[in-house]
Structure 1
Amino acid sequence: MNAPMSARAPADTVLVSCQNVARTFGRGAGAVVAVHGTYCLVRAHDRVAVMGPSGSGKSTLLHLMAGLERPTGGTVTWPGFSADGGLRARDVGVVFQSPSLINTLDVAENAGLPLVLAGRPEAEARRQALEALDLVGAGDLMGKLPQELSGGQAQRVAIARVLALRPRLVLADEPTGQLDRVTGRYIVDVLLGVADQIGAALVVSTHDPSVGERFPARWTMSDGRLTVPFDSGPPTAGATHRGDTP
């Protein structure tokens, strides 16, 4: 794997900057504002839990940070990733609530799929996939098919699939939402441990207080509005206290 990012970027390097970012779905009377004008930063070594109930806007915020959604207001930039502040596919890895593995591919093939799609040689893709599986403690599963895995095992493979591209920022959207408490705690252990090993920043959305308490920085989403307490850990939102207040 690549050298940890701590050797490549100072801790204060801003990876994602959201400036007055909003996202509305639909138009007219039926429009739904998922995220109101929000200000926040994610820096190179951050560990952030975005907390709030279902429907509060957590997933939309992470999708905006990942470039999967385009804001309908404000700007999202990635100044720490390239000279022009843009985003490359390998910079950000997204772990979804559902593993969404391909049933006809074994574990090693699933983990290496992003590399294959990126045009990497098959041997290189397999090597990096196996390295990623070892990082999440799933190397012994490499020949199994998804239907042979438990929920926790499948989620570890999904995390390995993200790590195979060696991202500098990992965004995990309710990664424990479909798991029991014990397995969910283990998955959080995996995410935190791997983020340390590869030197990536980590942002996790969750409605579970037991997950949130594992993170030094805790942001709160409520009705599409983000609040970043000053005492929630490292300063990840500049001088803003309420996410919708400059």
Structure 2
Amino acid sequence: MTLVRCTEAARTFGQGDQAVVAVHGSTCAVEPGARIAITGSSGSGKSTLLHLLAGLETPTGGAVEWPELGNSAAERSRDIAVVFQGPSLLPALTVAENVGLAAVLTGVSETEADRRAAAAMETVGVAMLTDQLADTLSGGQAQRVAIARAIALRPRLVLADEPTGQLDGETGAHVLDVLMAAVAETGAALVVTTHDPAVAGRLGEHWQMNDGRLVVPAREGVR
């Protein structure tokens, strides 16, 4: 029942003397219902690892597989949602249009996408912003909308890259509350990268990145 598995997966950028190893050979697995925090300092490789799990980056060594999700990009796009650290909404679209767009792009009808968007916005508490343009939102509002967009896909796996990293403590805590509640309601697995111990403490399983090297406690079931 593994959603995604890395087997000695590595990612190097550049070639020759300019090569930078962002992730050394890393082995890990995400199971249904998982709640995982990937911790590490800035530049440790945790975002690159998350992108490998999402299929946004191709490993330069080892392998990444999605046994329960399908290995084609089209199959994965329906089951994996990514919440990015920085601005990711289309500024000229309304909140409702942003939330529904990802579902439409995966082949969901516009009627169904609108229905999912409305439900997702209600779940994360941004229904009152439906017709507001994305470029008028505060940072906390934008992150909540990004979470709504993710869960409107009805994914089996949500990958969140420093979702509170650019927010103040109170706003960040609220956004994390929204994210945790949303994945609990949908039943999706959740992997969050963070450098904040308070965020990591909210998730049951902890992985650590140090200079591109992943450490997963043996008791978590990784061989």
Match of 1:6 in 2: none
For structure 1, which segment, 152-161 or 142-151, has the greater mean C-alpha deviation from structure 2 after superposition? Answer: 142-151
Query: 1: distance between equivalents of 2:203 and 2:150?
Result: 21
From 164, 180, 194, the counterpart of 2:168: 180
SS in 2 for 1:37: strand
1:134 maps to what in 2? 122
- When normalised by structure 2's length, the TM-score is 0.95
Q: What letter corresponds to residue 201 of structure 2 in structure 1?
A: E
Residue aligning to 2:77? 89
1:77 partnered with 2:65? yes
Deviation at 1:115, TM superposition (A): 2.2
2:182 matched to which residue of 1?
194
Q: Read off the aligned partner of 1:166 and give its amino acid letter.
A: R
Partner of 1:238: 222
User: Which amino acid letter does the alignment assign opposite residue 161 of structure 1?
Assistant: R
> What are the residue-to-residue correspondences of 1:1-246 with 2, within 5 Å?
13-82=1-70, 86=72, 87-230=75-218, 235=220, 237-239=221-223
- Structure 1 position 191, deviation (Å): 1.3
Report the more deviating stretch, 41-50 or 145-154: 145-154
Identical counterparts, % of pairs: 58
State the Cα distance separating 1:116 from its structure 2 match.
2.6
Unaligned runs of 5+ in 2: none
Q: Which deviates more from structure 2 when the two are superposed, residues 188-197 or residues 202-211? A: 188-197
Q: How many Å separate the matches in 1 of 2:41 and 2:205?
A: 18
Deviation at 1:88, TM superposition (A): 2.3
The Cα shift of 1:150 comes to 1.5
**How much does 1:186 deviate?**
1.0
Instruction: Report deviation, 1:147.
Output: 2.9
- Give 1:99 shift: 3.2
Whole-Å separation in 1 of the counterparts to 2:105 and 2:196: 34
Deviation at 1:100, TM superposition (A): 1.9
TM-score normalised over the length of structure 1: 0.86
Q: Is residue 78–residue 106 contact of structure 2 (8 Å, CA) maintained in 1?
A: no
* Structure 2 CA distance for aligned equivalents of residues 115 and 214 of structure 1: 28
What is the root-mean-square deviation in Å for CA atoms of aligned residues?
A: 1.3
Cα displacement (A) at 1:20: 0.5
Provide the residue aligned with 1:5 in structure 2.
none
Q: Which runs of 4+ in 1 moved over 6 A?
A: none
TM superposition shift of 1:230? 3.7
Structure number with the higher helix fraction is: 2
CA distance in 1, matches of 2:76, 2:216: 27
Q: Deviations over 1:17-40 (max 9, x none)?
A: 000100000000110000001000
The letter for the 2-side match of 1:78 is: W
Structure 1 residue 151: Cα displacement: 0.9
Amino acid at match of 1:193: A
